[in-house]
């Protein structure tokens, strides 16, 4: 019993410590993003654009591929049930709303967490164990301003953009199944999607993707800069970063969905 309580206490203490570290890092990022330009120390533009290309453009193909086929699968699975009710046309509405509100933001965030988040953690962890972070501090560069803030900005910008593209590709996947397999007219499918898709659905998905971007960036950078133990520590931090990001994305999605649901 005592051993179990000790384990729970250690886990709780570790979680609270990491949460505190991430909150402090996030506040520092906001300082450099908002106040930095007035102090003539803005976020390095070159680093920001490099991270934007890496987070956005380099991830575009896999996002398109995954969301397109998920849209096809969603259309096929929903058509099986809706055909029994004589409501096959509502496949278009179901795919459109599901992709924009839920599946698109979550799936895209998980893809980015596995690809970009892991890469950020591995890169920063390698810099930490090889003492490159300490070298930046020695020459007067703030690691949060130079390393973390550009990655946070890039993810906060590119994940919503990737989510929109993923939503569209998911709807295209549903369209392909609806027109070629379910016998729905092209114009009718598009009109039904537009009719049932509202601004709230789109804005809900975009807000979720923005929150997910903050989660991925903060967890990845905190795990990377907190790495100890050489090459083995880099591996541990990268694995912990991806797993924690996945869990927090799902938890945040549940909380945001509940808030939007009860808010009407």
Length of the chain: 264
Concatenate the DSSP letters of all residues of 95-109 into one string.
HHHHIIIIIHHHHHH
Across 221-226, average pLDDT: 89
Residue 52's pLDDT is what? Answer: 92
Sign of CA dihedral 93, 96, 98, 100: negative
Any idea where the domains of the chain sit in the sequence?
A: 43-263
Mean per-residue pLDDT for 4-16?
70
The Cα-based distances of 81 to 92, 106, 109, 168 in angstroms read 14, 24, 28, 23
How far apart are alpha carbons 95 and 24 in whole angstroms?
Answer: 40
Q: Quick one: average pLDDT of 208-225?
A: 93
pLDDT of res. 264: 59
DSSP conformational letter for 37? G
Query: Which residue has 């980015």 as its token pair?
Result: 112
Helix crossing, 2-30 with 149-180: angle to 10°?
Answer: 100
Most confident of 174-183, 227-236, 244-253: 244-253
Q: How far apart are CA 102 and CA 91, in angstroms?
A: 16
Cα–Cα separations (whole angstroms), residue 91 to 71, 94, 179, 212, 251: 11, 5, 11, 28, 28
Q: Which helix (H) or strand (E) holds 162?
A: helix 149-180
Rounded CA separation 245/253 (Å): 12
Tell me what pLDDT residue 172 has: 94
| pLDDT band at residue 2 under the 50/70/90 scheme | low
Grouping H, G, I as helix, E, B as strand and the rest as coil, residue 87 is coil
pLDDT in tens, 150-200: 999 999 999 999 999 999 999 999 999 988 888 788 888 888 888 888 888
**DSSP code for 32:** I
Euclidean distance between CA atoms 209 and 167, whole angstroms:
12
The residue-averaged pLDDT of 110-115 equals 94
39 pLDDT higher than 80: no
Mean pLDDT of 44-60: 89
Looking at residue 140, its pLDDT comes to 78
What token pair was written down for 39?
């102090």
Q: 2 by DSSP, 3-state: which? A: helix
CB-CB neighbours of 144 under 10 Å: 20
Q: Where residue 1 falls among pLDDT bands split at 50, 70, 90?
A: low
Residue 129, pLDDT above cutoff 80: yes
pTM of the model: 0.91
Average per-residue pLDDT in the chain?
A: 87
In this prediction, residue 99 carries a pLDDT of 92
Report whether pLDDT(13) > 70: no
φ/ψ (deg, to 5) at 226: -100, 15
Residue 118 has pLDDT above 70, yes or no: yes
Distance between CA 13 and CA 241 in Å, rounded? 18
């Amino acid at each position: 019993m005592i051993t179990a309580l000790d384990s729970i206490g250690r886990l709780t203490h570790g979680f609270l410590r990491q949460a505190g570290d991430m909150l402090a890092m996030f506040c520092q990022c906001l300082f450099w993003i908002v106040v930095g330009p007035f102090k003539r120390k803005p976020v390095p533009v070159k680093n920001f654009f490099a991270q934007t290309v890496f987070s956005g453009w380099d991830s575009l193909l896999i996002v398109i591929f995954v969301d397109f086929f998920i849209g096809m699968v969603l259309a096929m699975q929903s058509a099986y049930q809706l055909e029994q009710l004589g409501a096959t046309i509502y496949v278009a509405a179901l795919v459109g709303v599901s992709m924009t509100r839920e599946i698109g933001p979550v799936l895209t965030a998980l893809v980015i967490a596995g690809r970009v988040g892991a890469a950020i953690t591995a890169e920063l962890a390698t810099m930490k164990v090889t003492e490159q972070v300490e070298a930046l501090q020695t020459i007067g560069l703030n690691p949060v301003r130079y390393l973390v803030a550009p990655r946070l900005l890039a993810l906060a910008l590119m994940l919503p953009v990737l989510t929109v593209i993923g939503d569209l590709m998911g709807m295209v996947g549903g369209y392909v199944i609806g027109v070629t397999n379910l016998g729905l007219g092209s114009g009718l499918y598009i009109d039904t999607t537009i009719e049932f898709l509202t601004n709230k659905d789109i804005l809900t998905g975009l807000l979720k993707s923005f929150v997910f971007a903050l989660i991925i960036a903060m967890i990845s950078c905190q795990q990377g800069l907190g790495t100890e133990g050489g090459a083995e520590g880099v591996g541990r931090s990268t694995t912990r970063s991806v797993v924690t990001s996945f869990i927090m994305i799902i938890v945040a999605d549940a909380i945001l969905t509940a808030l939007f649901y009860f808010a009407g």
